[in-house]
C-alpha cells in the first residue's frame, strides 16, 4: 500500500518524458530499418524542393516589370498592372471561351469514357484478345504529339485519307482541309485526345477493379444479376472513391488544354478556335520576351485552378464522403 501511495505522488511529467523518448526511439529504429526507402524518399523530396518550391521565388516578377538585363530584385514594382492588362486585352474573352469550351467538353465526354472502357475490358474472358486490345489502345499514349500531330495533319488534309473515306462513303462531295476550318478544330482536338489517352487512362480503373472481391460478384450472380447489373451495382460502387479523386483532379485542371497538342495542330486559319490560355501565354509572353506578363497570367491560372480544386473537393466530400483532404 505504501509503495502504491509513493507511485501516485511521483510527478506525472516523468511518465510523459519516458513516453516521448520511447516514441523517438521507435521512430529512429523504423528509419534505420527502412534506410533504403528513406534515402529514396529524401531524394524525391529534395527534387521537389529544388525544382518546385525554390523557383516559386520567381513568381514575384508577376508584380514587377522584369527584363533579362536586370535581376529580379532590381526590377521595378508595378503591382497588378499585368493582371489588369490581361483582363482588358481584346483577346481575353476569346481565349477564355476556347479554353473553357475545349476543357469542359473533354471533361464531359473524355472523363467517363475510360471508366466505361475499363468496365468493358474487365468483362473480357479471352486473355489473348484482352492483351491485344490493351496493346492497341495503350500505344498512342507513347507517341508524342509532334508525331501524332504530323499524322493528323496528313490524314485531315484535303488530299488525306479522311477525305477519301468521306467521299467514298458518299458523305461528302468536296475535299476539305479540316485543320483550316475553325468549326472543326474543337472536335479534332477532343477526339484525338481521347484516341491518344483512352487506354492509358483506363489503367488506374482496371487496377481498382482488380481489387474488388470476387465474393461480391458471386453473390450478385446467385441473386440473378447479369453482367451489366453487376457492373452497375458491384463494380461501380467499389471503384467510386477512385472515380471521385480523379474527378477532383480533372476539375482542378480544367484550364489546362494540352499545350503540346494544340501547338502542333493550330495554324493561322483556325486561330479563332485554337487560341487558348497556354498558347496565348506562349505567344504574347514568351515569344515577345514579356516574362512578367506571362508569369502574371500563369499565376492567375494557378489561383483559379486552386479554387476549383478546393470547391470540387468540398462538394464531393459533402455528396459522396470522398475527398483528397
Domains of the chain: 2-63 (no CATH), 82-320 (1.10.3720.10)
pLDDT value at 223 more than 70? yes
pLDDT at 10: 52
| C-alpha cell at position 59 | 513568381
Q: How far apart are CA 168 and CA 269, in angstroms?
A: 27
Residue 25 CA: distances (Å) to CA of 19, 31, 42, 106, 118: 10, 10, 20, 51, 46
Q: What is the mean pLDDT of residues 189-193?
A: 94
Q: How far apart are CA 264 and CA 279, in angstroms?
A: 11
| C-alpha cell at position 39 | 534515402
Q: What is the mean pLDDT of residues 280-305?
A: 90
Percent of the chain with pLDDT over 70: 94
Task: Work out the pLDDT band at 124, boundaries 50, 70, 90.
Answer: confident
Q: What is the mean pLDDT of residues 248-260?
A: 89
pLDDT at 34: 83
| C-alpha cell at position 200 | 492509358
* Lowest-confidence pick of 7-11, 58-62, 123-127, 172-176: 7-11
pLDDT digits (tens, 9 = 90+) for 306-323: 999 999 999 988 888 888
Average of per-residue pLDDT values in the chain: 88
pLDDT digits (tens, 9 = 90+) for 88-117: 998 899 999 999 999 999 999 999 999 999
Cell 478556335 -> residue: 273
Q: How far apart are CA 128 and CA 208, in angstroms?
A: 21
Task: Work out the pLDDT band at 171, boundaries 50, 70, 90.
Answer: confident
pLDDT value at 4 more than 70? no
pLDDT at 16: 47
Residue 21 CA: distances (Å) to CA of 11, 25, 26, 27: 17, 6, 9, 10
pLDDT value at 135 more than 60? yes
pLDDT at 193: 94
**Which residue stretches of the chain are H helix?**
2-9, 13-33, 35-48, 81-88, 92-105, 112-122, 127-138, 145-155, 161-168, 182-201, 203-210, 214-222, 227-230, 236-252, 259-265, 271-274, 277-280, 291-320
| 305 contacts 253 by C-beta, under 8 angstroms | yes
pLDDT digits (tens, 9 = 90+) for 12-60: 544 445 477 777 888 888 878 888 888 888 998 999 999 989 988 989 9
Q: Distance of alpha carbon 266 from its chain centroid, rounded?
A: 22
| 144 contacts 260 by C-beta, under 8 angstroms | yes
Residue 232 CA: distances (Å) to CA of 118, 219, 274, 321: 13, 14, 38, 19
Amino acid at each position: 500500500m505504501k509503495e502504491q501511495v509513493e507511485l501516485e505522488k511521483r510527478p506525472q511529467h516523468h511518465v510523459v518524458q519516458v513516453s516521448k523518448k520511447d516514441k523517438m526511439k521507435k521512430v529512429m529504429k523504423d528509419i534505420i530499418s527502412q534506410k533504403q526507402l528513406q534515402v529514396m524518399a529524401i531524394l524525391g523530396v529534395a527534387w521537389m524542393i529544388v525544382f518546385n518550391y525554390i523557383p516559386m521565388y520567381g513568381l514575384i516578377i508577376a508584380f514587377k516589370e522584369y527584363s533579362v538585363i536586370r535581376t529580379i530584385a532590381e526590377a521595378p514594382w508595378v503591382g497588378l498592372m499585368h493582371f489588369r492588362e490581361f483582363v482588358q486585352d481584346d483577346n481575353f474573352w476569346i481565349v477564355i471561351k476556347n479554353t473553357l469550351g475545349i476543357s469542359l467538353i473533354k471533361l464531359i465526354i473524355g472523363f467517363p469514357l475510360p471508366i466505361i472502357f475499363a468496365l468493358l475490358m474487365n468483362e473480357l474472358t479471352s486473355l489473348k484478345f484482352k492483351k491485344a486490345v490493351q496493346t492497341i489502345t495503350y500505344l498512342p499514349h507513347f507517341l508524342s504529339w509532334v508525331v501524332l500531330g504530323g499524322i493528323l495533319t496528313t490524314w485531315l488534309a484535303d488530299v488525306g485519307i479522311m477525305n477519301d473515306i468521306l467521299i467514298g462513303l458518299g458523305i461528302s462531295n468536296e475535299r476539305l482541309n479540316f485543320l483550316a476550318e475553325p468549326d472543326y478544330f474543337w472536335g479534332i482536338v477532343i477526339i484525338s485526345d481521347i484516341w491518344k489517352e483512352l487506354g492509358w487512362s483506363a489503367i488506374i480503373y482496371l487496377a481498382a477493379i482488380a481489387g474488388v472481391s470476387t465474393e461480391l460478384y458471386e453473390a450478385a450472380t446467385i441473386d440473378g444479376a447479369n453482367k451489366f447489373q453487376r457492373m452497375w451495382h458491384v463494380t461501380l460502387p467499389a471503384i467510386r472513391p477512385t472515380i471521385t479523386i480523379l474527378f477532383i483532379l480533372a476539375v482542378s485542371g480544367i484550364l489546362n488544354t494540352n499545350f503540346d497538342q494544340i501547338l502542333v495542330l493550330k495554324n493561322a486559319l483556325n486561330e479563332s478556335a485554337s487560341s487558348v490560355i497556354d498558347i496565348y501565354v506562349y505567344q504574347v509572353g514568351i515569344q515577345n520576351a514579356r516574362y512578367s506578363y506571362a508569369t502574371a497570367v500563369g499565376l492567375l491560372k494557378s489561383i483559379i485552378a486552386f479554387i476549383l480544386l478546393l470547391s470540387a473537393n468540398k462538394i464531393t466530400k459533402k455528396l459522396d464522403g470522398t475527398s483528397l483532404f
